[in-house]
Amino acid sequence: MSNLAQEIINGIKQEPRKELIDGIWYMSPGPSVNHAHVAFNIGAFFKSKFKGKPCRVFVDSLDVHLSENDIFVPDVMIVCNKDIIKPKGIYGAPDLIAEVLSPRSSRRDKIDKYNTYEKYGVKEYWIVDTKNKSIEVYWLEGGKYRLSNEYILYPQSEIDDMTDEEKATIVYEFKTSLFDDFTIDIREVFEDID
């Protein structure tokens, strides 16, 4: 095995991710451990739920070609239209995209990707924050994103200081706009995250 291959396997050297946003190439370093773990948790959850459904789950692996000037590598995506799945990537809008924030790319995730995903018709967009253990869920309605809700996994110390009324407003499970027959548990998304 070559030294480069061994370095990649050992996690010493990771290739930066390249994404084309409005005609400009951006490079990001490989994800942190928490970033990769949360993306895996989301992907594994969806994979387990999609048995018998026509949708496919992809985790941090494929280019999404939305236009000649917009090519992304989402952290997690769900594609239900098999016609847009090609050997070299996804050519069209996935049904759901989840981006896990990183310090160097959070502005792009919150603004540039948000606007582009909305423009090209991604039906549901999640912005996942490992630091605050939160997920903002946006649903596409009438061609514009609407914040469905923000789900937060509060630390136990904060919960202990809450009133009973505040505790009653905490939501741990939510549904995706794509399917009514299963719910996502935010505790599973952030399981084993420091």
Nearest CA-CA partner of 18 in 83, 89, 86: 89
In this structure, the dihedral spanned by the alpha carbons of residues 124, 179, 85 and 56, taken in order and rounded to 10 degrees, is 110
Query: What pLDDT shows up at residue 4?
Result: 41
Grade residue 12 by pLDDT with cuts at 50, 70 and 90.
very low
Nearest CA-CA partner of 42 in 99, 90, 91: 99
* Rounded Cα distance, 39 and 158, in Å: 25
* Rounded Cα distance, 13 and 35, in Å: 17
Dig out the tokens for 96 from the structure: 């759901």
If you average pLDDT over residues 107-127, what whole number do you get? 96
Q: What is the mean pLDDT of the chain?
A: 88
Grade residue 57 by pLDDT with cuts at 50, 70 and 90.
very high
pLDDT, greater one: 152 or 9? 152
The percentage of the chain sitting over the pLDDT mark of 70, rounded to a whole number, equals 91
Query: What pLDDT shows up at residue 74?
Result: 95
* Rounded Cα distance, 28 and 42, in Å: 21
Q: For residue 116, report the phi and psi dihedrals to the nearest 5 degrees.
A: -70, -45
Sign for the CA dihedral angle at 191, 101, 147, 74 comes to: negative
Grade residue 155 by pLDDT with cuts at 50, 70 and 90.
very high
pTM value? 0.88
The string of DSSP codes covering 5-59 is: HHHHHHTS--PPEEEEETTEEEEEPPPPHHHHHHHHHHHHHHHHH-TTSS-EEEE
Pick 16-185's CATH classification: 2.70.98.60, 3.90.1570.10, 3.40.190.170, 3.40.50.300. 3.90.1570.10
Query: What pLDDT shows up at residue 15?
Result: 58
pLDDT, greater one: 70 or 52? 70
Query: What pLDDT shows up at residue 58?
Result: 94
What are the DSSP E strand ranges found in the chain?
Answer: 17-21, 24-28, 56-59, 64-67, 70-72, 76-79, 85-86, 89-91, 96-100, 124-129, 134-141, 144-152, 173-175, 183-185
Distances 130 to 28, 61, 65, 68, 83 between C-alpha atoms, Å: 17, 20, 27, 31, 33
Strand pairing partners for 145? 140
Domain ranges of the chain: 16-185
If you average pLDDT over residues 77-98, what whole number do you get? 96
